[in-house]
Structure 1
Amino acid sequence: MTPVLRHITREEISAQLSHTALLSPVRQAMIAYSAGKATSAAQVLFPASGADVHIKSAVLPGAPIFTVKLAGWSERLKADTGNGHSGLILVCDSRTCQPLALLRDGHLISDYRTGAAGALAGHSCLSAGAVDAALLGAGTQARHQVQALAQLREIRSLRIWARRPEAAKSLAAALQAELPASRVSVEGTPSEAMRGAGLVVAATAARAPLFHAEDVKPGQTVISVGGDDEIKCELPPGLLSRADKVFTDSLGQARAYGNAARALSSGLAEAELGMQELGAAWASNDRLRNSERQVIVCSLTGLGVQDLAAVSTLFNWETPRTHSAPAQKTG
């Protein structure tokens, strides 16, 4: 019996997605990964100038499916269509390894599960109560970070900075409409946006740190979700070395990609960073802040097991549809 390959469109996927639905599955997937119960491989390719493709796969013991994702970004695609993201996820039967479905999500699942991971990280590293937040970036992922966080915390105020002021103003207007009880404003520099914020979220494609280590003050939590390959970096190495706690989703990927990789290549020893995986920390404690003055940094690179958790949540894969192989003609 050969499974019928389902072709699932972005529209079908969008109808099933919500930030709230992915919070618990993403958290549990990250705990399983840190416990060594999941296999999650990642590779970044650069097929042309101004283009990259992230290939991430994941297997969880006992899960009826495993996934292989291609998530791309292209400057040419962005110039042509206004959206540089592309992507698809192949879903396979864990027992037979046969393809079951092709999800043409166009990066949508990556956007939602990254929003969930960032929100969970911020929520666990903040003191109790409403939060004053700073958002560095005004793209799709920046919006998802705020939308997901709003499912877990009251956002009292939100100050936005982006390299393109018009993008920051547009996002501010959209988020103000979604969060009418919050005070949403646009700031001229990252340091101005960060001043007085309990939570700083960086969601950009920056290739160099967005601010100086001394811009981060005691008591602040900094979440970075943009440093996910060998080129990108949002945080200064000095911040990782002076932070009281540094968390990541994957120690292996952190050594190769993003902020921690840049810090290590600058000459800092891994022991100076003191990195811990969020999944390991969550397995024993939901609250990761021990004092009001701690500086906590979470540098996230994205896990294939998060994609698997999202896809498993969206659709039922227990009883895939099949059809018989065609009968052979006889002469």
Structure 2
Amino acid sequence: MPSHAQLLLLDRDAVEPALQAEQVLAAVREAFVLHSQRAGRVFPVVREKLATGGVFGIKSGDVASQDLLGFKAAGFWPGNRQLGGEPHQATVALFDPHTGRPLCLLDGNAITTARTGAAGGIGLQQLARPESTRICVFGTGVQARVQLTYALRILPRRCTVQYVSTRGQAVPEFEAAFRDICAIRLAHDRNEAVASSDVVITATPGGGPLFDASAVRPGTHLTCVGADTAGKRELPEGVLQRARIYVDDTQQARSIGECQWAPGLPCTEIGDVLGGTTPVARAASDITVFDMTGLALQDLTVARFLYRHALDTGAGTRVAWPW
């Protein structure tokens, strides 16, 4: 009854343990296919700079056939580092599409991290050469870690990893997180690291080109994470023009992703690949780019399985939320 309605709250401690890789991968794959089939809608993205120095955005959407409706409010506040906090902040909300009532509020940081890592892994699985074993990672933060985690999980052979840190210095805790599953070391020359790698992952704040275009060799796959706002980029001029480009959403990629710097180039949505509409016929010499800007549907499909899991297990906090 309306007077007994409740709102379920799932904080970080409830969300993180439930984010099992296989379930996240399945949910993100479903989101891509739903988007490709236009069975799931993605509403226009809000992405605005704030007077406080932060960036605030809203990604929302629905899947009418599944009664799935919601949004993620998220952004980047660089000043949080000085407070000992995470600069990326996000909250996900699910709603009953029949009444508009909120069903669940979830910690969006953990969801964003996991679903973006899974998306990068899915793109790598579809687009990188199967024999790839050499990885170069730009960044050592939360997103760099999750991208590398999924890459090492998906690539079939043991890998060697070079990483480029912000200050050009070794990051022992980053190395320690992966030392047992790969050979990892600091890259002393970023162009040489790119040139000697099969897979390049860029997971930085997107402040500008990270390497020279000439460093990208034929056969390289690039997973691009950091360009998610107008004006951001990680790739140098000339790389997209040489590559076969794949995106999560064409319009988003051309407005806030790497493709904003070359919006006239053709690109393919990854959901079309996963759904079988556009098969990948990758030549060994092809350069492939997966330009990821993040879909609301990814957040919603992951949030849905977390919500159902919490209902089944009794996890989370229930708050009276009468009509």
For the criterion TM > 0.5, the same-fold answer is: yes
**Local SS of the residue matching 2:210:** coil
Q: Structure 1 pair 192/324, CA: closer, same or farther in 2 (3 Å)?
A: closer
In 2, Cα distance between the equivalents of 1:28 and 1:90? 19
Q: Structure 1 pair 299/324, CA: closer, same or farther in 2 (3 Å)?
A: closer
In 2, Cα distance between the equivalents of 1:119 and 1:145? 7
In 2, Cα distance between the equivalents of 1:155 and 1:275? 31
1:187 counterpart letter in structure 2: A
**Local SS of the residue matching 2:262:** helix
- CA drift of 1:289 comes to 4.8
Determine the structure 1 residue equivalent to 2:315: none
Determine the structure 2 residue equivalent to 1:127: 129
Determine the structure 2 residue equivalent to 1:310: 302
- CA drift of 1:322 comes to 11
Greater Cα shift, 52-61 or 298-307: 52-61
Q: Structure 1 pair 302/325, CA: closer, same or farther in 2 (3 Å)?
A: closer
- CA drift of 1:317 comes to 8.2
Q: Do the aligned residues in 2 keep the contact of 1:20 with 1:148 (CA within 8 Å)?
A: no
Q: Structure 1 pair 132/289, CA: closer, same or farther in 2 (3 Å)?
A: farther
Determine the structure 1 residue equivalent to 2:179: 176
Q: Structure 1 pair 138/318, CA: closer, same or farther in 2 (3 Å)?
A: closer
* TM-score, structure 2 as length reference: 0.90
Q: Structure 1 pair 235/4, CA: closer, same or farther in 2 (3 Å)?
A: same
In 2, Cα distance between the equivalents of 1:71 and 1:240? 28
- CA drift of 1:197 comes to 1.2
Greater Cα shift, 69-78 or 277-286: 277-286
Q: Quick check: 1:68 aligned with 2:76?
A: no
**Local SS of the residue matching 2:66:** coil
Q: Do the aligned residues in 2 keep the contact of 1:137 with 1:168 (CA within 8 Å)?
A: no
What are the equivalent positions in structure 2 for 1:85-104 lying under 5 Å apart?
A: 85-104=88-107
Aligned residue pair count: 314
Q: Do the aligned residues in 2 keep the contact of 1:64 with 1:318 (CA within 8 Å)?
A: no
* Identity %, equivalent residues: 26
Greater Cα shift, 275-284 or 188-197: 188-197
Determine the structure 1 residue equivalent to 2:205: 205
In 2, Cα distance between the equivalents of 1:223 and 1:276? 14
Q: Quick check: 1:28 aligned with 2:17?
A: no
In 1, Cα distance between the equivalents of 2:220 and 2:309? 42
Which of 256, 275, 278 aligns to 2:270? It is 278
Per-residue CA deviations over 1:57-103 (Å, capped at 9, x if unaligned) read: 12012223312111121122121124212221111112222101111
Q: Structure 1 pair 147/324, CA: closer, same or farther in 2 (3 Å)?
A: closer
- CA drift of 1:141 comes to 0.1
In 1, Cα distance between the equivalents of 2:48 and 2:121? 27
In 2, Cα distance between the equivalents of 1:151 and 1:183? 14
**Local SS of the residue matching 2:275:** helix
Determine the structure 1 residue equivalent to 2:292: 300
Q: Structure 1 pair 325/77, CA: closer, same or farther in 2 (3 Å)?
A: closer
Q: Structure 1 pair 155/118, CA: closer, same or farther in 2 (3 Å)?
A: farther
Determine the structure 2 residue equivalent to 1:248: 247
User: Unpaired runs of 5+ in structure 1?
Assistant: 265-269, 327-331
- CA drift of 1:188 comes to 2.0
Per-residue CA deviations over 1:179-233 (Å, capped at 9, x if unaligned) read: 1xx2111102321221321111111112211112211101111110111111310
Q: Structure 1 pair 163/101, CA: closer, same or farther in 2 (3 Å)?
A: same
Determine the structure 2 residue equivalent to 1:329: none
Q: Structure 1 pair 247/323, CA: closer, same or farther in 2 (3 Å)?
A: same
Which of 7, 10, 15 aligns to 1:8? It is 10
User: Unpaired runs of 5+ in structure 2?
Assistant: 313-317
Q: Alignment RMSD, CA only?
A: 2.4
Per-residue CA deviations over 1:269-313 (Å, capped at 9, x if unaligned) read: x1xx22111111221179735211111111110000000111112
Determine the structure 1 residue equivalent to 2:283: 291
Q: Do the aligned residues in 2 keep the contact of 1:19 with 1:115 (CA within 8 Å)?
A: no
Q: Structure 1 pair 21/314, CA: closer, same or farther in 2 (3 Å)?
A: same
* TM-score, structure 1 as length reference: 0.88
Determine the structure 1 residue equivalent to 2:60: 57
1:6 counterpart letter in structure 2: L
In 2, Cα distance between the equivalents of 1:293 and 1:51? 41
